[in-house]
Homo-oligomer: A and B are copies of this chain.
Amino acid sequence: MRVGIFGTGSVGRTLASKFAALGHEVMMGTRDVGALMARLDMDAMGNRPFPEWFGEQTDVEVGTFAEAAAHGEILFNCTAGSASVAAISHADDEALTGKILVDVANPLDFSKGYLRLTLCNDDSLGEEIQRAFPDIRVVKALNTVTAGVMVNPSLVPGSHDLFICGNDDAAKAEVTRVLKEWLGWETVIDVGDITAARGTEMLMPLWIRLMGAVGSPMFNWHVAREGGTG
Contacts and interface: CB of A to CB of B under 8 A. Distances in A.
Contacts of A208: 199
Copies of this chain present: 2
**Interface pairs A-B: 8 shortest CB-CB:** A199-B206, A160-B224, A219-B225, A199-B205, A191-B209, A222-B222, A202-B202, A158-B224
A141 B102 CA distance: 34
A113 to B, nearest CB: 11
Nearest to A190: B213
16 contacts: A117-B121, A120-B120, A120-B202, A158-B228, A189-B210, A200-B206, A203-B206, A210-B223, A214-B223, A214-B225, A214-B228, A219-B223, A219-B225, A221-B221, A222-B222, A230-B230
A228 B156 CA distance: 10
Interface of A: 112, 114, 116-117, 120-122, 156-160, 163, 165, 189-192, 195-196, 198-200, 202-203, 205-210, 212-214, 216, 218-226, 228, 230
A218 B203 CA distance: 20
A222 B219 contact: no
A230 B160 CA distance: 10
Contacts of A218: 225-226
B198 A205 contact: yes
Given A121-B120, A202-B202, A210-B191, A224 B228 contact: no
Contacts of A220: 223-225
Q: Of A117, A189, A226, which is in contact with the most chain B CB atoms at under 10 Å from its CB?
A: A226
Contact of A122 (B112, B157, B207): B112
B225 A157 contact: yes
B222 A224 contact: yes
A192 to B, nearest CB: 5
Given A203-B206, A216-B226, A219-B228, 16 more contacts: A114-B195, A116-B121, A121-B121, A160-B224, A165-B209, A189-B213, A192-B213, A199-B205, A199-B206, A202-B203, A214-B223, A214-B225, A219-B224, A219-B225, A220-B225, A221-B221
